Chains A and B, each alone.
Chain A
Amino acid sequence: MSADALVRLQSRTVCLPERNIDTDRIIPARFLTTTTREGLGRHAFNDWRWREDGSPDPDFPLNRPEAQGAQILVAGRNFGCGSSREHAPWALRDAGLRAVVSAEIADIFRSNALKNGLLPIVLDEAVVDALLAQPGLELDIDVAAATVTLPDGRAFGFPIDGFARTCLLEGVDQLGYLLRQLPHIQRFEGASHAR
């Protein structure tokens, strides 16, 4: 099973209630001049998290002592809007996060997250608002059942594509899956408008 596989996640939450948190805020463009995937965690939410002099802003939720080790980020709706940079999920994974919960998650970010073992979870806005109101709640996420269970026992289902779920549960490598489609791809190239 690869490091990206995810079956069950039990963790406290860390909360960023702002809506429309874009990928430039998740990782500013000046940190994209890298040729590797590693080491971007320090720059996750860089300009929010670190002051100009490099010291941590103690008020930023991810910097608070109680947030250390939290693997679930709960955020305002339309999380991850903006650019296609996969550096955003790379940075969040490298910062220790495994799931993002929001009332709406931008398309490209969601696609990128699923390729990096970061689980995007969309719940009703009322549920997300309740989670945002109580940072640090201990959640139990069951990927196979596609449920999020709160400490009081209430469970909420979330939509997840069957293929994405299998990939997460089994750590399936999507490129490997595509490579197995090569006979179909060759046939398509041969048959379809003289490719």
Chain B
Amino acid sequence: MSSDQATNDQAPNDPAPNAQAPNAPAPKTLFDKLWDAHVVVPETADAPAVLYIDLHLIHEVTSPQAFAELEARGLTVRRPDRTKGTLDHSTPTTPAQADGRHAYYTADAEKQVETLRANCAKHGVELFDFGSDHRGIVHVIGPELGLTQPGATIVCGDSHTATHGAFGALAFGIGTSEVGHVLATQCLLQRKPKTLAIEVEGALAPGVTAKDLILHVIGAIGVAGGTGHVIEYRGSTIRALSMEERMTVCNMSIEAGARAGLIAPDATTFAWLATTPRAPRGADWKAAVARWSQLRSDAGARFDRTVRIDAAAIAPTVTWGTHPGQVVAIDADVPVANDADAQRALDYMRFAGGAPVAGQPVDVVFVGSCTNGRLGDLRQVASVLRGRRVHPRVRMLVVPGSVQVQREAEAEGIDRVVRAAGAEWREPGCSMCIAMNGDLVGPGQLAVSTSNRNFEGRQGRDARTVLASPLTAAACAVAGHVVDPRTLSRDAVQEHVAQQHVAREHAAQEHAA
């Protein structure tokens, strides 16, 4: 990590490096532009800003108490047209039974879903229920429907709302009280956060994915490195990422403590949105693209902090501990514990400092979640599993992020590859990432997971989690132990490189057009 430099070269109170002409507008960051466009009432010393919210996504787990609060006060949903609901967190990933009903893990989970159904029906909120072509993990469906658009403010009672920032939207997670605030007023009370630029330059090496990049970044700045800040990811490496890869990066901003992560929209963004059902059409589309094209940090815009990352120095990266900042290159040794917290993490994981994570026997492999449950992720997994078998010791779950992802994957035969390898192909949902729907890792079991959190007990009581890319996770499933995907699956790595190349060519052509 010696190549990573953290600098505070642009402190907020520094005079502007280049004095502006007296009447020229001060250069703004992308974040400033998004914030300024949504301030209903500016903040003062005595009161936070009133910030307008363009899109409010809700799900079954963090909304019932907010609707109950509305009921108690006799309020209604102010903008049902700006509110969309889905079922994802506590929903089963097993297919519907013969009678069409779903087998919930607990009666409480089913009651949550029924409560959301009733609340959406009562307040006229569109719900992507079972049977809908649009149901899925809240952060997967927003982008694939084109509900997520550049320049918007987007909130959800879920900390991974940062995902939508990949489109140049200011998107962040909120608590249930705030869900109630947005339902009732379409606004939030917010203090303006600071800005953190993460500049990544250079090419990612073969076998190194967006997941490895963001794990590396979190390791470099720490789990609280982004606290109080909104991150803007910048630089040639970020520009070369596909939208799916950008979402993976922005998704884990919260794992570095930042409520939001942003990437300026560009031709790659517009190409994604052009095929979505709810993006503007015709003249509206042209006007939208013209507007969205302004959404980038101006030259000379000042960030409160800047961190530079060298992409070439990143290897396939996994976690060794119990938070997402405890990472290590897969071909390196776990650091020797230098304090009680690190030792506690090693003890929980039953790992030793000074030895590699590679080689550890794996019990469960989970592919899915709002971090890595999109079509490109499943393609990578299929490229590893094709013609191979999951190790007999390993239980592998592959859970598409949405019905759309599921259908597209099935149209390509990915489900058949997954099943033929001996893995389970499931219905869409959050599944084993948050492990509240019955998809659990057993006590003491080691899971290699493409999800976002390796906290103690996250995937089940006493479950041990190693976070990894889909490529690494699939390689581990085949090997039966933690393994460097570059050693097992040269074909898959080559295929990944080819995919990256195609994506970059496509982006370059779009950009030139």
Give A contacts to B, CB under 8 Å: 17-20, 22, 24-25, 28-30, 32-37, 47, 52, 76-78, 81-86, 104, 106-108, 111-112, 115-116, 161-163, 166, 174-175, 177-179, 181-182, 184-185, 188-189, 192-193, 195
Contact of A86 among B108, B176, B193 (CB under 8 A): B176
Contact A175 B434 (CB under 8 A): no
4 pairs of A and B residues whose beta carbons are closest in the complex: A112-B175, A86-B175, A84-B173, A35-B64
Contacts A32-B90, A33-B436, A108-B159 known; 15 new A-B pairs at CB < 8 A = A29-B435, A34-B108, A35-B108, A35-B115, A78-B224, A82-B453, A84-B62, A85-B175, A115-B178, A163-B48, A175-B73, A175-B177, A175-B181, A178-B50, A185-B52
Cross-interface CB contact of B177 among A47, A162, A174, cutoff 8 Å? A174
Q: Which of the listed residues B61, B106, B193 has the most CB atoms from chain A within 10 Å of its own CB?
A: B61
0/1 per residue, B451-480, Cβ < 8 Å to A?
Answer: 001011110011000000000000000000
Stretch from B183-191, B265-273, B308-316 forming part of the interface with A: B183-191
Whether the pair B181, A78 counts as a contact (CB closer than 8 A) is: no
Contact: A107 with B68, CB < 8 Å?
no
Q: Is the CB of B436 within 8 A of A78?
A: no
Q: Who on chain A is nearest to B40 by CB?
A: A188
In the bound assembly, the distance between CA atoms of A112 and B95 in angstroms comes to 36
The reply to whether A33 and B108 form a contact with Cβ atoms under 8 Å apart is yes
CB–CB A24/B458 < 8 A: yes
Contact partners of B75 in chain A: CB under 8 A? 179
Q: Do A181 and B187 touch across chains, with their CB atoms under 8 A apart?
A: yes
Q: Are A161 and B191 in contact (CB under 8 A)?
A: yes
Shortest A180–chain B CB gap in Å is 10
Report the bound CA distance from A178 to B62 in whole Å: 20
Contacts of B112 in A (CB 8 A): 33-35
Verify A175–B180 contact, CB threshold 8 A: yes
Q: Is the CB of B178 within 8 A of A22?
A: no
Tally the A-B contacts, defined by beta carbons under 8 Å.
174
CB distance from A45 to the nearest CB of B (A): 11
With A33-B112, A178-B184 known as contacts, the answer to whether A81 contacts B224 (CB < 8 A) is: yes
B45 within 8 A of A: yes
A84 to B185, CA, bound (A): 20
Q: Does B259 contact A (CB under 8 A)?
A: yes
> What separation, in Å, do the CA atoms of A161 and B228 have in the docked complex?
14
Chain A residues whose C-beta falls within 8 Å of the C-beta of B109 in the assembled complex: 33
In the complex, the chain A residue whose C-beta lies closest to that of B63 is: A35
Docked pose: A63 CA to B443 CA in angstroms: 23
CB-CB nearest in chain A for B45: A162
A90 to B180, CA, bound (A): 15
CA gap between A121 and B316 in the complex, in Å: 39
Secondary structure of the A contact surface, majority rule? loop
Q: Once the chains bind, are B175 and A36 in contact (CB under 8 Å)?
A: no
Q: Which residues of A contact B341 (CB under 8 A)?
A: 18-20, 76
> Do residues A78 and B223 form an inter-chain contact, with CB atoms below 8 A?
yes
Cβ contacts under 8 Å, A189 to chain B: 52, 186
A178 to B224 Cα, complex, angstroms = 30
Q: Are B65 and A36 in contact (CB under 8 A)?
A: yes
* CB within 8 Å for A78 and B157 given contacts A24-B453, A24-B455, A47-B456: no
Judge whether A18 and B108 touch: CB under 8 Å: no
Cβ contacts under 8 Å, A37 to chain B: 65
Chain B, residues 329-349, CB within 8 Å of chain A (1/0): the string is 000000000001100100000
Best-buried of A32, A77, A178, A185 by chain B (most CB within 10 Å): A178
Contact with B436, one of A32, A36, A106 (Cβ below 8 angstroms): A32
In the complex, what distance in Å separates the CA atom of A127 from the CA atom of B52? 39
B123 at the interface (CB under 8 A from A): no
What residue in chain A is nearest B110 (Cβ atoms)? A33
Can you name 28 A-B pairs with beta carbons within 8 Å? A18-B340, A22-B455, A24-B456, A28-B457, A29-B435, A33-B106, A33-B111, A33-B436, A34-B64, A78-B257, A81-B257, A82-B254, A82-B455, A84-B158, A106-B257, A175-B177, A175-B180, A178-B181, A178-B187, A181-B40, A181-B41, A181-B50, A181-B185, A181-B187, A185-B40, A185-B50, A188-B40, A188-B52
